[in-house]
Structures are given as C-alpha cells and as structure tokens.
A and B are shown apart, each in its own frame.
Chain A
Amino acid sequence: MDLITLIMYLGYFLLVVGTIGVVFGPMTDDPFKRLLNIEVPSMGVALIFLAYNETLALMTFLGVNAILILVLVRAIVINTELSEEQE
C-alpha cells in the first residue's frame, strides 16, 4: 500500500471512530471526557490534510487546535463553577 493511501485511510478511520466515540462513547456525561474524545476526529482531519498535501492548512489547523483546547477547558471550568451557584 502506498504511503499517501495509508495516511488517507487512517485519517478517515480516525474521523469515523472519533465521531462515534464522541457521540456514543463511554462516560460522555462528563464534559471534560467528551472534550478529550473530541481530539481524536481533530487528529483525523489533520491526517486528511496531510494526505492531500495541504501544508499551510495543516499548520494553521494545528495552531488553532492548541488555542481551541485552551478556550474549551476554560469554558468547561467556568460552566461548572456557574452551575454550582445556580443550584
């Protein structure tokens, strides 16, 4: 099997498995564990970018993904604190 074909099939496998894991996976009532499941289809999209030679898109996606983890973790912590005050 060619290297590009291997990377493309691997990216689609990660995308499908990660999406099913995010929606139906174990312990997804906890929002932090659901956030950790979200990272798997993100890496699948990065592998598909790599298979189609989109270098600049891959670099931008990795940079934005690191910032997005920061924002989402902060949002989950603030949401937990605010739901504490409402009860």
Chain B
Amino acid sequence: MDILPTVSAICCVLGAIGVIVHTNPINKIIMFAFLESGLIGLIVSCYYLDVAIVSSILEPIGTVVLLLGLMKYEVVKKSKKKYGRKLPILTK
C-alpha cells in the first residue's frame, strides 16, 4: 500500500479521537484541522483533484469562523458571568 493513504488514515483516526477526548476548545479546533488534513490526503490519494481544490479552499474558512466564534463566545460568556445578576435589578 502507498504511504499517502496510510498516513492520512492515521491522521483521521488520531484527529477524531483527539476531537472527542480533549476538553479545551482551542485543542479541539487544532485536532479538527488535523482531521481535515487527513481527509484531504485521502481525497488526493483517490485522484479527485477538483474536490481537493474545493476542500482546501473551504477548510481554512471553517477553521477561521470557528476561532472567531470561539473568541466572541468566550467574551459573551464572561460578561454574562460578571454582569448577569446585577444589571436586571437596575433595569427593573
């Protein structure tokens, strides 16, 4: 067997287990990028190069959206924990 499908399959398995097991969201996003790199390797080993172009363009967009959403989610959750119980008393 060739070396590219073997390495890509190992990347997919390790990335899937890593996404499930880790609890920090930054580590989960890093493991998700690892999993997607394995997917691109398997697509290339099947000689579907057009699908590889589409996957290579759309995968970093998803990672960037997840990182920006994670930052905004952390900010919203922190502000909720800090001001959530005190501000409705002022508004009422």
B19 CB contact (under 8 Å) in A37, A83, A85: A37
How many residues of B are counted as interface, with CB atoms below 8 angstroms from the partner's CB atoms? 45
Interface mask (A44-87 → B, CB under 8 Å = 1, otherwise 0): 10110010000100110011011001100110110011011101
Shortest beta-carbon distance, A80 to chain B, in Å? Answer: 5
Residues from chain A with a CB closer than 8 A to the CB of B48 are 50, 55, 58
Q: Is the interface of A mostly helix, strand, loop or mixed?
A: helix
A70-B58 in contact (CB<8A): no
How many pairs of residues, A versus B, come closer than 8 Å at their CB atoms?
121
Interface residues of A (CB under 8 A from B): 1, 3, 6-7, 10, 13-14, 17-18, 21, 25-27, 32-33, 36-37, 39-40, 43-44, 46-47, 50, 55, 58-59, 62-63, 65-66, 69-70, 73-74, 76-77, 80-81, 83-85, 87
Give chain B's interface residues, CB within 8 Å of chain A. Answer: 1, 5, 9, 12-13, 16-17, 19-21, 23, 25, 28-29, 32, 35-36, 39, 42-43, 45-46, 48, 50-51, 54-55, 58-59, 61-62, 65-66, 68-70, 72-73, 76-77, 79-80, 84-85, 88
